[in-house]
Amino acid sequence: MKYSIKVGAADKINSDCIAVVVWNKGGLSEEAQLADKVSNKGISKIVRSEDFTGTLGQTHIVYNPIGLKSKRLLLIGGGEIKKLDAKNASRMLTAGLKAVFASNAASVHFAVASLNVKDETPAWVCQRLAQEAETASYRYNTTKSTKSKAVSANLISVSPSKGARRKSLEEALKSGSAIGAGINRARHLGNLPGNICTPSYLADEAAAIGNKHSSMKVKILGEKQMSRLKMGSLLSVSAGSAEEAKLIVMEYKGAKADSKPHVLVGKGVTFDTGGISLKGGGGMDEMKFDMCGAASVIGVMATVAQLKLPINIVGLVGAVENMPSSTATKPGDIVMSMAGKTIEVLNTDAEGRLVLCDVLTYAERYQPRSVIDIATLTGAAVATFGSHVSALLSNDDKLTEELIDCGKRSLDRVWPLPLWEEYQPLLNSNFADIANIGGPRAGTITAACFLSRFAEKFKWAHLDIAGSAWHSGAQKGATGRPVALLVEYLSQQKA
C-alpha cells in the first residue's frame, strides 16, 4: 500500500473516496463543513435524518456525492470532540479504514487536517493512520483453498495540518507503515499451524530478513552447537520432539560497531503440548500461539531494519517444540542451565522459562544496554490482566517507567507487577539450585523471579504476553503485540 500527503480542499481532491469527520450530535469538522456546503447541505440532511449521528466509530458512505470530485464520501463518527485522545482517534481511524476496505475503492483521501488529538501531533495522526491501514488490510490465506479477497485500496493520502512540516508527515507515514507491516508479520507467524511454523521455519523467516537487509546479520545455531554451549535447560524442552531446536540470532547494526546493543529475547515454542505434564485437550490448538514472543521479535527486527534506526539491536529467539515421547524430559528431572545453575523440572508445562533462561545467559556476551524478553508465559497473567494489558516485571525502575510510557504512546500498554525478594523462596528445591515452578500462587511473579536469576548482569524487563498475544473465539488469531510497544521503545534510544 502507498501513502502520501496531498494538499487541496476537500471538494477539489480527486479520489475514489474522501473521508471527513462528523462529531457527536452532528457537529461538522472543517472539512465536513466544506463538503456539506458544496453538496447542497447533503451531510446536514443525513444528520437530520438520524441515519448518522457522529457516534465514535460510526461510518456512512455517500456514493457520487454532489459537488465533490471523489466518487464516494465517507463520514466517520468522531464522538465527542473534547474526548478525542489517542485511543479514540485510533478507533475512529480504524473504523474509517475498515469501511473503505469493505468497498471497492482503490484510493482514499483522509481530509483530517483540522483534527486536534489531545497530547498528540499531526505526525502522530499520520503514523497511526498508516499503521492501522496496514493491520486492517491483513488477511490470512496461507492454508485456505478459498482465499479471502484482498482489499481494493492501494493508495491512501492525507491532508497536511496547518504549520506541519511535510517531510515530518511523510516520515510518519513511512514509520506507521513499517510498524504495521511488522505487526502483520508477527500475526502471520502466530497464525500459521504448528506443522508449518516449526523452529526451522522461524529460522528461515529470520534468515530471509537478514538476506534482505545489509544492516542485518543472521546466524542459526542448531542443537549440536547449543549442546557445546551447555544450553541444557533449553535443550531439555526439545528433547521429546523430532523437530530440532534452533537458537536464532539476528544482529542489526545501525550505529558504530563498538556501541553496545539493546537485546530482545523471544520465546519460540512453536507448539506446546505441555510435554509429559500434558495439557487438557480443550483449546490445545491455541498452543500454536506459544511462539508469539518469538514472532514479535522477528517482526520488530524487520521493522527496525526498514526504519534504519541509528542504534544496534540484537534479536534472540529460542525456538523449540514441546512434545511428550520416550525421550522427553520428565517431572522431577534435573537439568543444567548454560549459567551453570541446576534446575528441578517439577512441571514440563512450565517450559518457556527453561528456554528463556539459557537465551538470557547467551545475551550476556553482548554486554547489552538493556534486555527485554517477550513470552506467552503464564495463565496467571491472563487471569490478572485479561487481553488488554501485558504484564511487566523488571529489575530496573527506569526501564519499567520507559516501557509504561512507550505503551501509552503506542496504545500497546503494559502494567507492572512486583518482583520482590519475598517471592524468591517459592522457587526453592530440595534437589537443585532452583525449581522451575513456585506453586499455585503468584504464578506470573514467580515465573519472572525464575528468569531474574539469569538476568542479574544487565538491565532487564520481562513482558508476559499470554493474554495479549492472541484472541480466542470467533475472532481467533494472533494480535502482533507487542511489536508497536517495542518499536516505540527502541525508537527512543540513542547510540
| Residues known to be catalytic | 279, 353
CA nearest neighbour of 432 among 323, 324, 353, 346: 346
Q: Record the cell numbers describing residue 339, joined without a space.
A: 549459567
Q: How far apart are CA 115 and CA 124, in angstroms?
A: 11
C-alpha triplet 245, 484, 295: angle, nearest 5°: 15
Cα separations in angstroms, 413 against 158, 180, 339: 27, 17, 32
Q: How far apart are CA 495 and CA 481, in angstroms?
A: 25
Asked if residues 425 and 335 have their Cβ atoms less than 8 Å apart, the reply is: no
Q: How far apart are the first and last CA of the chain?
A: 32
3-state secondary structure of 203: helix
Q: How far apart are CA 419 and CA 416, in angstroms?
A: 9
Query: SS3 for 95-161, per residue?
Result: HHHHHHHCCCCCEEEECCCCCCCCCCCHHHHHHHHHHHHHHHCCCCCCCCCCCCCCCCCCEEEECCC
Asked if residues 345 and 334 have their Cβ atoms less than 8 Å apart, the reply is: yes
CA nearest neighbour of 5 among 119, 115, 227, 156: 156
Q: Please enumerate in sequence order all residues whose Cβ is within 8 A of that of 416, keeping only pairs 6 or more positions apart, or say none.
A: 392, 393, 394, 400, 404
Sheet harboring 390-394: ordered strands across?
A: 216-221, 246-253, 312-322, 262-272, 370-375, 460-464, 390-394, 414-416
Q: Record the cell numbers describing residue 83, joined without a space.
A: 474526548
What's phi and psi for 447, nearest 5 deg? -65, -45
Q: How far apart are CA 464 and CA 468, in angstroms?
A: 9
3-state secondary structure of 316: strand
Q: Record the cell numbers describing residue 290, joined without a space.
A: 506459544
Q: Please enumerate in sequence order all residues whose Cβ is within 8 A of that of 32, keeping only pairs 6 or more positions apart, or say none.
A: 20, 21, 22, 43, 75
Type of residue at 176: G
Beta-sheet pairing, 262-272 with 370-375: parallel
